[in-house]
Amino acid sequence: MDLKGKNITVHDMCLRDGMHPMRHQITVEQMVAVAKAMDEARVPLIEVTHGDGLGGKSVNYGFPAASDEEYLRAVCSVVEFTKVSALLLPGIGTVDHLKMAVDCGISTIRVATHCTEADVSEQHIGMASQIDGLDTVGFLMMAHMIPAEELVEQLKLMESYGANCVYITDSAGYMLPDDVTDRVKLARQELKPETEIGFHGHHNLAMGIANSLAAVEAGASRIDGSMAGLGAGAGNTPLEVFIAVCERMGVETGVDLFKAMDIAEDLIVPMMEQPIRIDRDALTLGYAGVYSSFLLFAKRSAEKYNLSSRDILVELGRRKTVGGQEDMIEDLALDMAREAGTL
């Protein structure tokens, strides 16, 4: 694979996707410390939001340690080089949240929908694209669930609403490099040349790096990852590793590799409540194609109702659940416990 001379933007997820394994309990102080270190390491873009995006604060997804506004104001005020993004899932957050985040000083808004439902983002992408200088990104989650042709139709919708960058998001960490190549390649052919393409991976099948490289080769110019992989499931593509690989391959990220390694080792790993690794359940997510943030919810319900979390996750995959359906997990666990005669 020859990627020499390519220039890409890496986007760190520790302070958003990383909120999932942290039960949304990362403190403002921790965020500020991480953001400052990212700034020093010249990470171009970091995401800061509740794990489930703006307005994600809920019983369903978890109450965070601080509000989106508190996080965003604190982080935006300490970074100089690094720019800040926020995530918004229509159906959870609204344009009111978007306006608030812009007021806090974000430079990028990412509007995320399930891969078949791009049209619910018209309101939000449309409005964001009208805001002067706001980098507006469309983000199609669980992109493994539909073939490349259908996915590209949805990406085009987001592009037509005003997104200047669109993402293929492997929320379940299910994709293999060829799946990524097919999708990115077709998107690159079909979208406007000025529309950027991004890839967001999860490491549930240990494909984070390989998939990200496949994406770059096929024409993606933005790659998500997180230092030490802090993210849902087995985490995101471990960013410090990806940066090292990029250096070896002659891909320009602009990030200081050793500083990135230090962030991972000295700041992120000590923060973790449990190791982020491909344990049995995280592997099941990748194998069964299940939304990565279901992991802890399945573990909790399994413990509460004396079930196997793997069984719960496999069943969630079989039922074709989509991102955000965390409420389904306890409901399903109750059904399974009743069937097992243990309720």
Return the active site residues. 20
149 near another protein, rule: CB under 8 A: no
Residue (78 or 328) nearer to another protein, CB: 328
Applying the rule CB under 8 A, the residues between 206 and 245 that interact with another protein are none
Residue (229 or 289) nearer to another protein, CB: 289
Residue (60 or 221) nearer to another protein, CB: 60
**Which one-letter DSSP state was computed for residue 342?**
-
Rg of the chain taking only CA atoms, in angstroms: 19
Q: Which of 2, 5, 7, 59 binds another protein (CB under 8 A)?
A: 59
Q: Given the rule CB under 8 A, which of 52-60, 131-139, 221-229, 255-263 is the region that contacts another protein?
A: 52-60
Mapping DSSP to helix (H, G, I), strand (E, B) and coil, where does residue 130 land?
helix
Residue (118 or 241) nearer to another protein, CB: 118
Q: Which of 119, 265, 273, 339 binds another protein (CB under 8 A)?
A: 119
Residue (117 or 262) nearer to another protein, CB: 117
300, burial (CB in 10 Å: exposed 0-12, middle 13-18, buried 19+) = middle
Give me the least distance between CB of 211 and another protein, in Å please. 23
Residue that the structure tokens 């509007």 belong to: 111
46: enclosing H helix or E strand: strand 45-47
Give me the least distance between CB of 95 and another protein, in Å please. 6
69 near another protein, rule: CB under 8 A: no
Q: How far apart are CA 305 and CA 330, in angstroms?
A: 9
Q: How far apart are CA 2 and CA 8, in angstroms?
A: 14
Mapping DSSP to helix (H, G, I), strand (E, B) and coil, where does residue 94 land?
coil
196: enclosing H helix or E strand: strand 196-200
Binding-site residue total for another protein (CB under 8 A)? Answer: 29
320 near another protein, rule: CB under 8 A: yes
Give me the least distance between CB of 323 and another protein, in Å please. 8
Q: Which of 50, 3, 6 is nearest to 25 (CA)?
A: 50
What tokens does 96 get?
A: 């009111």
Confirm if 91 and 111 have CB atoms less than 8 A apart: no
Residue 266, C-beta contacts closer than 8 angstroms, at least 6 positions apart: none
117 near another protein, rule: CB under 8 A: yes
Q: Given the rule CB under 8 A, which of 74-82, 133-141, 215-223, 315-323 is the region that contacts another protein?
A: 315-323
Confirm if 8 and 54 have CB atoms less than 8 A apart: no
Q: What is the phi-psi region of residue 9: left when phi exceeds 0, alpha when psi lies from -120 to 50, beta otherwise?
A: beta
Give me the least distance between CB of 117 and another protein, in Å please. 5
288 near another protein, rule: CB under 8 A: no
- The pattern of x and - marking residues 83 through 112 that bind another protein according to CB under 8 A reads -------xxx-xxx----------------
Torsion angle, alpha carbons of 53, 59, 61, 62, to 10: 90
Q: Given the rule CB under 8 A, which of 41-49, 273-281, 309-317, 329-337 is the region that contacts another protein?
A: 329-337
Q: Which of 273, 335, 339, 342 binds another protein (CB under 8 A)?
A: 335
Confirm if 143 and 175 have CB atoms less than 8 A apart: yes
Given the rule CB under 8 A, which residues bind another protein? 58-60, 90-92, 94-96, 114, 116-117, 119-120, 122-124, 319-322, 324-325, 327-328, 330-331, 334-335
